[in-house]
A and B are shown apart, each in its own frame.
Chain A
Amino acid sequence: QSVLTQPPSASGTPGQRVTISCSGSSSNIGSKYVYWYQQFPRAAPKLLIYRTDQRPSGVPDRFSGSKSGTSASLAISGLRSDDEADYYCSTWDDSLSGWVFGRGTKLTVL
């Protein structure tokens, strides 16, 4: 059972906006930055969002992150077929003294 809770799946049609939620607690999301990772099948994860709402260079501005209290969200606008991937939220947990991850959300573009 993961410390962070994500929906197992999400879907949308091309061009739509999709959001993926991530719920935690005061010892992690509530007091720390949130990070999002994108993972394609048989590939390593890639950092997508850092410090809750910042994009590394090369990540399109269609991807955005936000946080409110002990929950965070990843939004993907202008959905494309090549956005199909698994998305993981992550943050540092003070109680566990380590990084924690959600179980991942599989995004399907219909």
Chain B
Amino acid sequence: EVQLLESGGGLVQPGGSLRLSCAASGFTFSSFGMSWVRQGPGKGLEWVSVIGGSGGDTKYSDSVKGRFTISRDDSKNTLYLQMNSLRAGDTAVYYCVRVSGYYYDSSALDYWGQGTLVTVSS
């Protein structure tokens, strides 16, 4: 059974930093791309970033480019999201999500973790 468990969320002041982690199990982690998707309070889903299997191609949404960095440690089956220069608008539940296929543009976001809440406030 695929399991994705996020951690690292919390309250941070504007301009601060936070690192999210996602522990994966139940599949061959290195073979799959992984992504982060966030959902602001009472809002819809917003894709944040993706990284290919074994650390391949990374992409970011315009709203986080230059501030967030996605990475992975395949030896630990763990995905990360380093978030710097945080803003109030980054407040959201952050979901760790598996990418179903090799090519992003023909892949689903097929398994989702339960999410971790990040609150940016003074």
What's the nearest-Cβ distance from chain B to residue A20, in Å? 14
What separation, in Å, do the CA atoms of A94 and B59 have in the docked complex?
Answer: 12
Q: Which residue of chain A lies nearest to B93 when distances are taken between CB atoms in the complex? A: A44
Question: B105 interface residue, CB < 8 Å from A?
Answer: yes
What's the nearest-Cβ distance from chain B to residue A51, in Å? 7
Question: B50 interface residue, CB < 8 Å from A?
Answer: yes
Q: Contacts A37-B45, A98-B59, A101-B44: A51 and B108 contacting too (C-beta < 8 A)?
A: yes
B contact residues around A92 at 8 Å (CB): 104-107
What separation, in Å, do the CA atoms of A24 and B99 have in the docked complex?
Answer: 22
| Contacts across chains A and B counted by CB atoms under 8 Å | 63
Question: B110 interface residue, CB < 8 Å from A?
Answer: yes
Q: Which residue of chain B lies nearest to A105 when distances are taken between CB atoms in the complex? A: B44
Give 1 or 0 for each of B81-119: 1 = CB within 8 Å of chain A CB: 000000000000001000010001111111111110000
Q: Which residue of chain A lies nearest to B106 when distances are taken between CB atoms in the complex? A: A33
Band of interface residues on B: 20 to 34
Question: B46 interface residue, CB < 8 Å from A?
Answer: yes
Supply 18 A–B pairs (Cβ within 8 Å), ascending by A: A37-B109, A44-B112, A45-B37, A45-B45, A47-B108, A47-B112, A50-B108, A51-B108, A56-B110, A92-B106, A92-B107, A96-B62, A98-B47, A98-B59, A99-B35, A99-B37, A101-B44, A101-B46
Interface residues of A (CB under 8 A from B): 2, 32-33, 35, 37, 43-47, 50-51, 56, 88, 90, 92, 94, 96-104
Interface residues of B (CB under 8 A from A): 35, 37, 44-47, 50, 59-62, 95, 100, 104-115
Supplied contacts A45-B37, A99-B47, A101-B47, 20 more A-B pairs, CB within 8 Å: A2-B44, A33-B106, A37-B109, A44-B115, A46-B112, A47-B111, A47-B112, A51-B108, A56-B110, A90-B45, A92-B104, A96-B61, A98-B50, A98-B59, A98-B60, A99-B104, A101-B44, A101-B45, A103-B44, A104-B44
